[in-house]
Structures are given as C-alpha cells and as structure tokens.
Amino acid sequence: MRLISQEIWSDVLGYVRKNITEVEYHTWFAPVKNLGVQDGSLVLGVRNSFAQEWFRKNYLKLLEDALRSLGAQDPQVSFQVLPAAQDALLLPSDPPPPPSVPAPRAPAPTFTENRKVLNPKYTFENFVVGPNNNLAHAAALAVAESPGKAYNPLFIYGDVGLGKTHLMHAVGHYMLERFPGKRVEYVSTESFTNDLINAIRDDKMTQFRNRYRSVDLLLVDDIQFLAGKERTQEEFFHTFNALYENHKQIILSSDRPPKDIQTLEGRLRSRFEWGLITDIQSPEYETRVAILKMNAEHNRIDIPQEVLELIARQVTSNIRELEGALMRVVAFSSLNNVPFSRAVAAKALSNVFAPQEVKVEMMDVLRQVAAQFNMPPDVIRGSGRVREVVQARQVAQYLIRELTDHSLPEIGQFFGRDHSTVMHAISKVSEQMGKDSELTAAVDLLRRRMKGQDDEDSDA
C-alpha cells in the first residue's frame, strides 16, 4: 500500500476540522490512522466497528470533499478496523468527551507544554545548499562548530518558507549530536511572549528566567514579532545579555533585517547587529529541483525527473509551497490511480497555480505505456520479441507519432530502430484499433492521460 504523505493527511484533517465542531473533531478524527492509498482509495484505520459504521454514515462525504479539494477526481475512502494493539496506540491518554458534551476549556499552557522540540527533518544533511542560501548555511555551520565563538548572535532573515527555521534547527541537532548534555531551546517569539505573560500572571518569573537563561543554545524564530511589545523586549534584552555574557550561542530569525524592524528598542537592535546578519533568498531553478528530488527520496517516492522539473518551474519562491506542490502531485496520482507524468502533474497543480501548457515528450509516452501494459520502460525499448512487448512498443510509437512533433527517424532512434519499423508499428496499431476493442480502449485511455484530460469515466 502506498503511504499517503503526512502533509496530505494534514490537509485532509485541516479541511475536516473547518467543517465540524472541535468536539466532534477530537472525538472522531484525532484517533484515526491514515493507512495510505490502495487502488485509488484512501484507507483509514478506525478503532472499532462502531466507529467504522459511524464514519461511513456521517463523515464519508466530508472526507470525499476534502480529497476533491486536493485534486482527486473520483475520491474514494474506505475504513478498516485496526487490530487491538494498534488501536491502543491510537487511544488518546484521556478518553475524548462524548459528542454531546461541550469540551472542557483547555487549561492555560505552561512552559513545558509550550516548549517546541526540534523537527527531526531539519538537519544539515537535509538542507540543499544553493547560491540563494550558501552564506547563511556556511554561517550556521560555523556557529554549530564553534557555538558562542564564531558569530554571536547569528541573525538570519528572509521571506516566508525559505529555510530559516530549518537552518536554526540544524544547528540545534548538530550541537546535541556532539554534546548530548547541552541544553538547546527553540522558541517562537510568540511562545516567548506567551510564556512571559503566563509567568507574570502566575508569579513564576524566576522559573521563566531560569529556563531561558540556562540554555547553551537559544533559537528564537520570527523575532520581528518583538516589535511594539515593550515588556517582552525588556525581558528578552536581559535574557540576551545573560546568555551573551556566558558565551552561550543565540540564533535569531526574522523576515527582515534588524534595521527594518519598527519600534524595536535601539539597545536590542544594536545587539542583534553585534554578530553576523545573513539572508536567504528565493532558490534558483536548479536548487528547487534538487530540493524536490531530496524530498521525493526522503519520502521514498519514485517520481520521474521531468515531473520534478515541471513542479520546480511552477512554484518559484516559497519552498514550503514547493514541497506542498510535490505532495499535491503525489496525492493526485495516488488518489486517481494514475502513474506520474508531466500532464498529471500539471493537472494536479492547475487548481492552485496558473495552468501550464504541457508539451508531451517521448519519455512521457513511454512511461505511461509501460504503466498501462505493466512492464518496465526499458523492456519496451529493448529487443524483446514476446507478443505483449511488441504490442506495447508499437502502441508507444503510434502515440508518440500522434502526440509529439517528432519525426519517424527520431522516434526510430529513440527505440534504437529505423523509421520503417516505426511506420510499420503505426499502421499495425491503426489496423488493430478497429478490431480489438481492448486495445482501442487502452490507446484511448493513454491518449487522454497524455493530454491531461479527465479519466474518471474510463477508469471505473
């Protein structure tokens, strides 16, 4: 079963959550396990047969709508009762309230609950270095190797979704790997502010100060949100001084350089400028392709290079969006049960981005034919004379001739044959098409897929 990526499942849950009450969501959806996609159907693991029935009756349509919003043309969802052991893993520590009882108000978060941990994916190994980010990367690496000595603070700024948090966490991972006993604290400016407010309210300022002033590495995200918050600035100023004086490393991220953060106290601004200020720009095309490739490998998705290239051309600025686009294409192809191709990718992205004109390439056709005839592309291009292989090869040549501008000799060369073989293949397929309905249906389906047209009615 092909695992549907966590991002897609999060999108589905996000959609569901907007359409039902919080109590319903926590009661029914929080314990559901995403088991992946099988034969175009999203399979969800539920706790017992009662839940299975409840989902079928009450949430099937909602889930289908969620999938449709992600590009599934004929969304299908099925439910499986999980074995008891897996079920136990899914049970929240406190049983959820029954649907009719309003959820108790969540208690105000404490320091520990507010604390964020490092994202395991955000390491140096998983960070693609390109001309857009090589200075920030080099500075982060230098800081990771000599914390508190190289550049303190390190101030990284850049637009949304370009890898600032990733680099900060990478330094944290690096430090913890080498010195597991060190204390690393990652906090968003918002959480820092909330912690401060809670500490003041609960009369726990000593704990607050101990927590932030006893770390070896402090990572603070989105520091631009300090703007206009005098009390938080004041407290952060003292935290900063305490750490700095003790040669502890501080890394700050922001969407703009310190000089552009309005209403930031002069003494803080000047401290932010003591170390190194470095920026991250939008990635170039080659870096975008490399990031997609790494992402696909990370998620064990086998996706042709030309499809990654199409995505990289479509999404040009934000890396989070770039990754989202890849997941959208993966979801689209899983949910519609069609192999990856440029046409499929263009279609998957057309709801979100301006539609792209996709020129069909010979390789696209070969891959689609290979998937349809259930044999590897190399076999089709090889010299095998088995009847099924010969037929697939002829269909591929026929469709390439129809759907691309390539000449007969070019097609011949692609298959390691001469143009007369291609001519023969074309007339053979044309002749069989009238007589063999199975072949005709297969060619029609392939043609529609290559053109990125809907194939709802043909697959069913």
Ligand X SMILES: Nc1ncnc2c1ncn2[C@@H]1O[C@H](COP(=O)(O)OP(=O)(O)OP(=O)(O)O)[C@@H](O)[C@H]1O
The residues binding ligand X (CB under 6 A) are 121-122, 126-128, 133, 158, 160-166, 255, 291, 319-320, 323
Tell me the backbone φ, ψ of residue 199, rounded to 5 degrees. -65, -40
Other CB atoms within 10 A of residue 288 CB: 25
For the bound state, the minimum distance from the C-beta of residue 126 to ligand X, rounded and expressed in Å, comes to: 6
CB 301 within 8 A of CB 330: yes
Nearer to ligand X, 127 or 340 (CB): 127
DSSP label of 28 = I
Amino acid at 190: E
Measured CA to CA, the distance from residue 120 to residue 116 in angstroms comes to: 12
Select the residue whose beta carbon is closest to ligand X and give its number: 163
Sheet holding 41-46, edge to edge: 33-38, 41-46, 76-81
Nearer to ligand X, 319 or 446 (CB): 319
Nearer to ligand X, 319 or 399 (CB): 319
Measured CA to CA, the distance from residue 439 to residue 257 in angstroms comes to: 62
Tell me the backbone φ, ψ of residue 187, rounded to 5 degrees. -145, 140
DSSP secondary structure, 178-234, as one string: H-TTS-EEEEEHHHHHHHHHHHHHTT-HHHHHHHHHS-SEEEEE-GGGGTT-HHHHH
For the bound state, the minimum distance from the C-beta of residue 329 to ligand X, rounded and expressed in Å, comes to: 16
For the bound state, the minimum distance from the C-beta of residue 119 to ligand X, rounded and expressed in Å, comes to: 8
For the bound state, the minimum distance from the C-beta of residue 293 to ligand X, rounded and expressed in Å, comes to: 10
Nearer to ligand X, 91 or 160 (CB): 160
Nearer to ligand X, 133 or 193 (CB): 133
Q: Which residues of 217-246 are buried (b: 16+ CB within 10 A; e: fewer)?
A: bbbbbbbbbbeebeebbebbeebbeebbee
Burial of 96 (C-beta count, 10 Å sphere; 0-12/13-18/19+): middle
For the bound state, the minimum distance from the C-beta of residue 182 to ligand X, rounded and expressed in Å, comes to: 22
For the bound state, the minimum distance from the C-beta of residue 168 to ligand X, rounded and expressed in Å, comes to: 8
DSSP label of 260 = G
For the bound state, the minimum distance from the C-beta of residue 354 to ligand X, rounded and expressed in Å, comes to: 22
For the bound state, the minimum distance from the C-beta of residue 156 to ligand X, rounded and expressed in Å, comes to: 8
Does residue 93 sit in helix, strand or coil?
A: coil
CB 348 within 8 A of CB 329: yes
Nearer to ligand X, 164 or 393 (CB): 164
Nearer to ligand X, 64 or 255 (CB): 255
Q: Give me the torsion for CA of 251, 257, 259, 262, rounded to 10°.
A: -90
Q: Which residues of 350-365 are buried (b: 16+ CB within 10 A; e: fewer)?
A: eeebeebebebbbbbb
Nearer to ligand X, 52 or 165 (CB): 165
For the bound state, the minimum distance from the C-beta of residue 259 to ligand X, rounded and expressed in Å, comes to: 19
Nearer to ligand X, 133 or 333 (CB): 133
